[in-house]
Amino acid sequence: MKIATWNVNSVKARLPVVLDWFRKHAPDIACLQEIKCIDEEFPRLEFEDLGYHVETHGQKTYNGVAILSKRPFEEVRRGLPGDDGDEQARYIEAVVAGDDAPVRVAGIYLPNGNPAPGPKYDYKLSWMARLKRHAADLLAHEEVLVIAGDYNVIPREADVHDPAAWADDALFRPESRAAFRAIKWLGFADAFEQVDGRAHQYSFWDYQGGAWPKDRGIRIDHLLCSPQAADRLTGVTIHRDARGAEKASDHVPVVGEFRV
């Protein structure tokens, strides 16, 4: 089973590019971030035509997440628990039947947090604290669980082209990396680090300043795997080539393959 995450940076602006990629790579489950539209405006029919079930947690203009699956959803949750006043659509979670076990997938769009310090950074860290609490609850189920998405965190120096240039950025500051580690150390494996782990394998290149042609990227799109998922993980592919497409997103898909 292929489980993908992709920050598409507007599903409507990206639709031809995204549909081409789905036709070519046919993920079984895909989490999309920054769909930038309300549920009613999501191009649902186009994905249903490709054989997908579609669930969205949309928002006007900003944020918004979706989860797509070839198999029907058995359970869907919208919104990250822990703050009923949080209006930002950044979390969706669903369960799909695997061949021999249920598969729970959460799609996340973790707050960027810049500028740091400041209220946006405080929101990022509090969101991560909420994610940690919820992730701990989910781990207790002992399921095949993948938390997939745009974490907006660069875990290691090896995951950024120029660590010094990013030292004060909300994506690389010590508090952000510590919060990411605290979630991971609840008992998750980073899929990429488990099966590959090479330095300088990026998932995002800024539109500005020729970041893509100069390969000035960062790795911020991750698949965190429960032990039951990690045991079944056979490979991870970062679809770097997608960044070179006409009208590309600034992020590329990351796909994990699981025996389930």
Partner DNA sequence: ATGGTCGCGTAGCGA
**Is residue 94 within 8 Å of residue 73, measured between CB atoms?**
yes
CB of 103 to DNA, least distance (A): 28
- Written as six digits, the tokens of 165 are 């240039």
Residue 216 found at the interface with DNA (CB under 7 A):
no
CB of 140 to DNA, least distance (A): 31
3-state DSSP assignment of residue 28:
coil
Between 98 and 107, CB nearer to DNA:
107
List CB contacts of 156: < 8 A, sequence separation 6 or more. Answer: none
What are the two backbone dihedrals, phi and then psi, of residue 134, each rounded to the nearest 5 degrees?
-70, -40
Between 152 and 176, CB nearer to DNA:
152
**Is residue 185 within 8 Å of residue 139, measured between CB atoms?**
no
- Of residues 71, 86, 112, 227, which one binds DNA by CB under 7 A? 112
Binding mask 172-211 for DNA (x = CB under 7 A): -----------------------------------xxxx-
Burial class (CB in 10 A: 0-12, 13-18, 19+), 113: buried
Between 148 and 260, CB nearer to DNA:
148
* Span from 57-65, 128-136, 224-232, 252-260 in contact with DNA (CB under 7 A): 57-65
Which residue from 76, 21, 25 is spatially nearest to 53, judged by alpha carbons?
A: 76
Residues that bind DNA (CB under 7 A): 9-10, 12-14, 36-37, 60-63, 111-112, 114, 120, 152, 207-210, 247
